[in-house]
Amino acid sequence: MVDVLELSANHRENSGRGAARALRRDGRVPAIVYGGGDDPQNIDLDTRVLSREVDKGGFENRLVDLEVGGKTVRVLPRDVQIHPVTDAPIHVDFWRLSKGAEVRVNVRAVFVNEEDCPGIKRGGLVNVVRHTIEMICRVDAIPEFVECDLTDLEIGDSVHISAVTLPEGVRPVIADRDFTIATIAAPTVVKEEAAEAAAAALAEAELGELEGEEGLEGEGAEGEGEGDGDGAKDGEGDNS
């Protein structure tokens, strides 16, 4: 399971593009905390500390205990804006988490036991259909990744979601079918055919999601205009 990351932040009074640029010149990253039934709160964080955590990967799946003015609130990063040239974070949205809440996150699929896969020993290739799997997780049960076991798979076999052991409190968003995560492709399959098969599987999955998904409580907060005082309201989306 993902460890809870502790970050310290300052409350900021000023907002807007000019104020945000001044913060960045001082080595700070503007951010906003919203959701959880409370008003949005503008904050800023140390650029070096935040960059180090973002560079580790999986930042948007990590629970964060955010300390602001002596008070700590548990949040989940929902959007990290990155400078197109420097790759440094320039703005972050954090979502407050209420007790017992569930969130949608994209969890990495990690493939294990390739050495015990007969299909690979015969020259087969792992054709990955889904590098990440969209999951619904309790806020205290967000996995860093899920393991897909390739043991005993022959050429032509597939890894389906039903074969993956998920932690308690974690379930896939797609619940109406046993979707494919990867296949063991024959070595004679050309790259174009493998790509077409993966694209077709993804298109089918996305169509099923559009037809069968229902929103979760709290997800609407992300699109109700509570957003970013420096993005939607103050032009933070301008990466200049």
Which pLDDT does position 4 carry in this prediction?
81
Q: Are residues 69 and 23 in the same domain?
A: yes
Structure tokens at 29: 């990253």
Whether 231 is covered by a domain: the verdict is: no
How much is the pLDDT for 225? 42
Residues contacting residue 199 through CB under 8 Å, at least 6 positions apart? none
3-state secondary structure of 82: strand
Say whether both 125 and 164 belong to one domain.
yes
Cβ-based neighbour number of residue 86 at 10 Å: 10
* Same-domain status, 207 and 132: yes
Whether 41 contacts 9, CB under 8 Å: no
Give me the phi and psi of 75, to 5 degrees please.
-135, 170
* Residues of the domain holding 146: 102-212
Q: Are residues 113 and 138 in the same domain?
A: yes
Total structural domains in the chain? 2
Q: CATH no. for residue 81?
A: 2.40.240.10
- Per-residue confidence (pLDDT) for residue 27, from 0 to 100: 93
Q: Are residues 118 and 188 in the same domain?
A: yes
Burial per residue of 92-113, b for 16 or more beta-carbon CB atoms within 10 angstroms, e otherwise = bbbbbbeeebbbebebebeeee
**Are 82 and 109 part of one and the same domain?**
no
Q: Show the low-confidence residues of the chain (pLDDT under 70).
A: 1-3, 188-195, 208-240
Picking from 76, 98, 120, the residue at the C-terminal end of a domain is 98
> Mind listing the pLDDT tens digit for each residue in 136-157?
998 878 888 899 999 999 999 9
């890894």: which residue's tokens? 159
Q: Convert 186-214 to b/e letters by CB count within 10 Å (16 or more is b).
A: beeeeeeebeebbeebeeebeebeeeeee
Confirm whether 118 is domain-assigned: yes
Looking at the structure, do residues 94 and 106 belong to the same domain, yes or no?
Answer: no
